Amino acid sequence: KLRGSFAVLRVLWLLSVFGTVLPLDGGMLFPRESSSREVKELNGLWDFRADGSPNRNEGFEKAWYKRRLAETGPVIEMPVPASYNDITQDPTLRDFIGWVWYEREVFVPARWISDEGTRVILRVGSAHYYSIVWVNGEKVTEHEGGHLPFEAEISSLIRRDPTKPCRITIAVNNTLTLETLPPGTIQYMNDRTRYPDGFFVQNIYFDFFNYAGIHRPVLLYTTPKVYVDDIIVETNFMDDTGLVRYKVSVQGAATATLKVTLMDKDGHCVASSNTPSGVLKVVDVKLWWPYLMHENPGYLYSMEVRQHTSTYEDVYTLPVGIRTVNVTKTQFLVNNKPFYFHGVNKHEDSDIRGKGLDWALIVKDFNLIKWLGANSFRTSHYPYAEEILQMCDRHGIVVIDECPGVGIKDIRSFGNSSLSHHLVVMDELVRRDKNHPSVVMWSVANEPASEMTLIKHTKALDHTRPVTYITDSNYARDKGAPFVDVVCVNSYFSWYHDPGHLEVIPIQLNAQFENWYGKYKKPIIQSEYGADALPGLHMDPPMMFTEEYQNALLQSYHDVFDQKRKQYVIGELIWNFADFMTAQAIHRVVGNKKGIFTRQRQPKAAAFILRKRYWRLANETGRLPPWTKYPCSL
């Protein structure tokens, strides 16, 4: 049976008991320019101040948002988008916990203000973690959670006094609690013989630096008063005919005339309709295929949605990839053909900008992914920028889309309010990413302490894609696997367990797969494995932390993968694509060094091992077209 019909309900069981979630307002379509929409980016330098007062509350007590930030105290220049942590030489800002304040004055084009038929929306791509936004001193929105966008309509506010420049103030707080995703706790150290007055730390249970600030673009965009608010697309095909089931929601008018046109890459119309929902039929369909699985991967149609009333016209164009995703007991199918994940786990992480979106880095990473022969990645451990998913759509890189449910280890994080927030975040994630053909699976959490959970809550998430959560290798205490479609297992044999003993890998990895498959009869992805290696550190026979050890460990894993992928193992994702920053700890040498590339994106020896393997796998499993530039030197 084909997945992807509105009738099939995929049910996701989440961790815990109750929790009601209200449907989210608005569709959150990615802001795109069109003949009816304009976009103004507010990236660049903003004024900035961290609130260093003991309770971090001075900004609210003195209402910093009411005046220009520079009038209430000293400010520094801060780039947006970027994490603020590594920008200055000040260690207190690097490790700051609490409210920081950003401000920027913008000139709004006069026409946007004078034309009452234009809506002006302020959008923040993401800010970590809790954000409050004011425009000209008036609060316009607040949002909980990093990694996902939020927005507010500010049309009437900016029209109140058109002579004023528009002053945008954003306060962002990176404090994590037991209910946030990821969770964290603040611990005050009250022993005055050991700690200074007011000393506190933020405890986190995840292994990456808790970078903070405005991480993705901030922009203003317009739509007409009557506008396309959301589009939902689900695709399927039968023989040579593609089926694009769509639903358009329009806001601002009870009735509007719609014209939906699907165009191929050359701009030719292949199907059209004038109803708000329906199925477009595409003859001689060009399917969306993953990279290295087809000679023409990442094929995208454009769906132009044009709606008009007597006064307003709005045009929005959505890229559409036509493909199906299915899971059997032993296989992952894309367009009914077995797909083997040979890919990477990533982080949004780099020198200086931390988690800030950076186009040079994004394009470099895609070039490295393709060089490596990788066909997929997992957005460990949070949703990545939409701009990255759009690249995946275009290049055919398959994505396991993960929510920020990482480090859920404390029993107090399994209560109802944690659950409610988790569900809101999942809704926000699905709302944002539902139309990306590259996204083939949702991951609801990474290594939660699933033995603590009461699995009683059901929630319809999205019926078009399989669901997983990432578990560690201890199958005996697992409680989540019965409720997911694909079992994803992380394991670190001969690293965290039996360090230095590479010889245990074949037996332990083999047992891991047999146990999980034996118990659940579901396909398995090795969703993490790896070893730290300091680039340039060598030892033979191999010792931990050398490039040789990383190589040898990978190769031992690969031998077992090669046996099991003939049965039910459907993928392998190395931990990690690149070295990344973590909190300071005795087991971290300026960050996690399990990258096969350094943090500066230079290859370690392991990158070449993996490259050879991935191209070989692509040749074997991916139906590589004969003319594909296969690196002959491998």
* Cβ distance to ligand BDP smaller for residue 72 or 446: 446
Say whether residue 526 binds ligand BDP (CB under 6 A).
no
Are residues 608 and 634 in contact, defined by beta-carbon separation less than 8 angstroms?
no
Could you give the C-alpha distances from 357 to 24, 213, 349, 363, in angstroms and in order? 26, 12, 9, 11
Least CB distance to ligand BDP at residue 528 (A): 5
* Cβ distance to ligand BDP smaller for residue 438 or 490: 490
Nearest to 103 by CA among 38, 46, 178, 22: 46
623's CB contacts (< 8 A; 6+ apart) are: 293, 294, 337
Using CB under 6 A, count the residues that bind ligand BDP.
9
| 601 token code pair | 């994106």
Say whether residue 151 binds ligand BDP (CB under 6 A).
no
Least CB distance to ligand BDP at residue 589 (A): 12
Least CB distance to ligand BDP at residue 497 (A): 12
Among 47, 51, 207, 547, binds ligand BDP (CB under 6 A): 207
Q: Binding string to ligand BDP for residues 371 to 400, with x set by CB under 6 A, is what? A: ----------x-------------------
Closest residue to ligand BDP using C-beta atoms: 207
Q: Which is the catalytic residue, given 103, 234, 348, 447?
A: 447
Q: Binding string to ligand BDP for residues 579 to 598, with x set by CB under 6 A, is what? A: -------------x-x----
SS3 string, 391-405, reads: HHHHHCCEEEEECCC
Among 47, 349, 447, 462, binds ligand BDP (CB under 6 A): 447
Among 443, 446, 464, 471, binds ligand BDP (CB under 6 A): 446
Q: Which helix (H) or strand (E) element contains residue 313?
A: strand 313-320
Least CB distance to ligand BDP at residue 357 (A): 21
Q: Binding string to ligand BDP for residues 538 to 577, with x set by CB under 6 A, is what? A: -------------------------------------x--
Say whether residue 347 binds ligand BDP (CB under 6 A).
no
Nearest to 233 by CA among 171, 109, 323: 323
Please indicate whether residue 503 is annotated as part of the active site: no
Least CB distance to ligand BDP at residue 447 (A): 5
ω before 381 within 30° of 0 (cis)?
yes
375's CB contacts (< 8 A; 6+ apart) are: 290, 291, 292, 293, 339, 341, 342, 343, 396, 397, 398, 614, 618, 622
* Cβ distance to ligand BDP smaller for residue 323 or 381: 381
- Name the CA radius of gyration of the chain, rounded: 25
Among 126, 235, 413, 490, binds ligand BDP (CB under 6 A): 490
Say whether residue 402 binds ligand BDP (CB under 6 A).
no
* Cβ distance to ligand BDP smaller for residue 136 or 582: 582
Least CB distance to ligand BDP at residue 594 (A): 5
Return the exposure string of 564-592: e unless at least 16 CB atoms fall within 10 Å of the residue's CB, then b.
Answer: bbeebbbbbbbbbbbbbbbbeeeeeeebb
Q: Which helix (H) or strand (E) element contains residue 553?
A: helix 547-564
SS3 string, 188-213, reads: ECCCCCCCCCCCEEEEECCCCCCCCE
Could you give the C-alpha distances from 106 to 66, 216, 470, 562, in angstroms and in order? 16, 18, 43, 57
Least CB distance to ligand BDP at residue 577 (A): 12
Active site residues: 447
Q: Which residues bind ligand BDP (CB under 6 A)?
A: 207, 381, 446-447, 490, 528, 575, 592, 594
